[in-house]
Structure 1
Amino acid sequence: MLLASRRRLRAEVLIVLGLSLGQSAVYSIVQLLDKLTRAPLSEATSTLNRSQSTREYFDLTYQLLDIFFALVPVALVFYFLSQHAAAGSASPFARLGFNFARPGKDLLHGVGLAALIGIPSLGLYAAGRALGITTAILPSGLDAYWWTVPVLVLSAVRHAIVEEVIVVGYLLDRFGKFGWSTPLAILVSAVLRGSYHLYQGFGPFIGNVAMGLVFAWLYTKTKRVMPLVIAHAMLDIVAFVGFSLFGKAIGLG
């Protein structure tokens, strides 16, 4: 019975990853190989938040649809968690700490974590560019419309929710049920996080693995994914919106 249950959970995890970040990891590896076989990585560019239409309101529609459908696997995760929950147990949101039970603490911890991760990330990006193992990263390729900044903020929040809920909260829960040790679960979670950033080069892979180790370790101590979502969202908002507003002015675009 236990073996059958684990097999079912493994199939569940493969489905979730196949619809979300596992799929992104596969594409990321292929994109990295494509870039490596064209020219040195230092000459390649990775553009985030690409424009999808030259027509303003069609572009807006595509952006909002992308954000909405990217969150569907998160809904699937909470559905699966609720299906396997014991009667009378906490809600799946409370189980992962994805709620507003302690907004002050979560915000404080999220801000501190963003500062802890953000500053070294800038140095790692500069080092990666100098070593030729990181592509040029353009955080936003959107044109300047009235909706550009709000959409970039929504995109940042989307990335934060999808990555932290699935790669940290959900996977560590499932890996524990597989019988894996905590160090192994943390390592696999972190390597997966790095793998779907490989299209940006080896520097971002290393940086995101390190970030994943820290985030997953913290989650095992707090059982709250919300501070991780806040920290991740803040990092992406600063990168996306900052580049959109000031990147071209300082010669980055």
Structure 2
Amino acid sequence: MAESTAEPSPAAPGDDTPSAGAPPAPAAPAPLTPRLLRAEVLIVLALSLGAAAVSAVISFVGSVTAPQSLAEQTASLVGSQADSERPWLDLSRQVYSLVFAMAPVALVIHLLHRTGQSARTIGFDVRRPGGDLLSGAGLAALIGGGGLVVYLVSWQLGLTVTVAPSALNDHWWQIPVLVLQAVKNGVLEEVIVVGYLLLRLERLGWSPVQAVLASSVLRAFYHLYQGIGMFFGNLVMGVVFCWFYRRYGRVMPLVVAHALIDIVAFAGSVYLIGRVDWLPG
């Protein structure tokens, strides 16, 4: 029998039936159910500050079980990552760690966009630079001053380790790296543990009080490696920052405040520790 040479007729307009061999149309994205939302939050925290909290608890257990008292032990916040004779290698590793520490923040912003939101939803933008800088500076003065008092008192009571904010070798890039580390801390912590976490927990049905407590307790735990005194100091800081965010709906002033606090602490440790009697270290 002769083989048919007739060509298939073209699809009628509006006919969505795929032709033979054509790839299937992509499925619509699944709705963000509470189960998916909980998994998202846990994954974000496991890649960022949740993991830091677990590490801090392990470090704290190691400190309290050590033969020395807490005040006799030292915790370095920013340390050198190469010998002083190879500053280029140290700087390369510092920049590497700074860049990739921002990956969880990029992930959070990506996840917000997938649900029709953005960084502006949590106030992480530069629409109000003047107000953000002023309110951030005020918060930094309030929290930074109170935090210093808590640290000094708890250190005298033996409840806190000696904190060395900077253990970098003395190179020309020391202060710029410390400033960038401070900014990184502000962005990472405030975007994730305040803006993102409060937004997601409230969508899961948590009350404002429950969400604020969860955020503040998490902040306290990932600072536990510094000792009991700083645990409670950061708990109070978390409550104040969460209150501010819920009141004004912007995370950027918190980023500014946190960065300023850490800049003063990091740079101050370079110029003051060992030169003033009242500062431990």
Identify the residue that residue 76 of structure 2 maps to in structure 1.
47
Q: Quick one: distance in 2 between partners of 1:205 and 1:66?
A: 25
Q: Quick one: distance in 1 between partners of 2:51 and 2:128?
A: 33
Q: Quick one: distance in 2 between partners of 1:215 and 1:128?
A: 22
1:26 has 2:57 as partner: no
Shift, 1:233, TM fit: 0.3
- Of the three residues 111, 128, 152, the one matched with 2:154 is 128
Percent identity over paired residues: 49
Q: Map of 1:148-227 to 2, 5 A cutoff?
A: 148-227=174-253
Shift, 1:15, TM fit: 0.7
- Alignment gaps of 5+ in structure 2: 1-29
Q: Quick one: distance in 1 between partners of 2:104 and 2:91?
A: 22
Q: Which has the larger radius of gyration?
A: 2
Q: Quick one: distance in 2 between partners of 1:147 and 1:216?
A: 34
What secondary structure is seen at the aligned counterpart in 2 of 1:144?
coil
Q: Quick one: distance in 1 between partners of 2:216 and 2:170?
A: 35
Shift, 1:4, TM fit: 6.6
Shift, 1:42, TM fit: 1.8
What secondary structure is seen at the aligned counterpart in 2 of 1:140?
strand
1:108 has 2:101 as partner: no
What secondary structure is seen at the aligned counterpart in 2 of 1:100?
coil
What secondary structure is seen at the aligned counterpart in 2 of 1:139?
strand
Shift, 1:181, TM fit: 0.3
Identify the residue that residue 107 of structure 2 maps to in structure 1.
76
* CA deviation string 1:133-158 (max 9, x = no partner): 10000110001100000000000000
- Alignment gaps of 5+ in structure 1: 86-90
TM-score normalized by structure 2?
0.85
Q: Quick one: distance in 1 between partners of 2:274 and 2:90?
A: 21
Shift, 1:3, TM fit: 10
The residue identity in structure 2 corresponding to 1:101 is R
Larger fraction in helix: 1
* CA deviation string 1:7-32 (max 9, x = no partner): 10110111111010000000000000
What secondary structure is seen at the aligned counterpart in 2 of 1:49?
strand
Q: Quick one: distance in 2 between partners of 1:115 and 1:197?
A: 20
Shift, 1:248, TM fit: 3.5
Q: Quick one: distance in 1 between partners of 2:97 and 2:238?
A: 24
* CA deviation string 1:27-62 (max 9, x = no partner): 000000011111321211111101111021111111
1:231 has 2:251 as partner: no
Q: Quick one: distance in 2 between partners of 1:248 and 1:150?
A: 21
What secondary structure is seen at the aligned counterpart in 2 of 1:16?
helix
Does the C-alpha gap of structure 1 residues 116 and 20 become closer, same or farther in structure 2, counting only changes over 3 Å? same
Identify the residue that residue 58 of structure 1 maps to in structure 2.
89
Q: Quick one: distance in 1 between partners of 2:32 and 2:99?
A: 34
Taking only aligned residues, the RMSD between alpha carbons, in angstroms, comes to 1.5
Q: Quick one: distance in 1 between partners of 2:37 and 2:55?
A: 24
Q: Quick one: distance in 2 between partners of 1:40 and 1:24?
A: 23
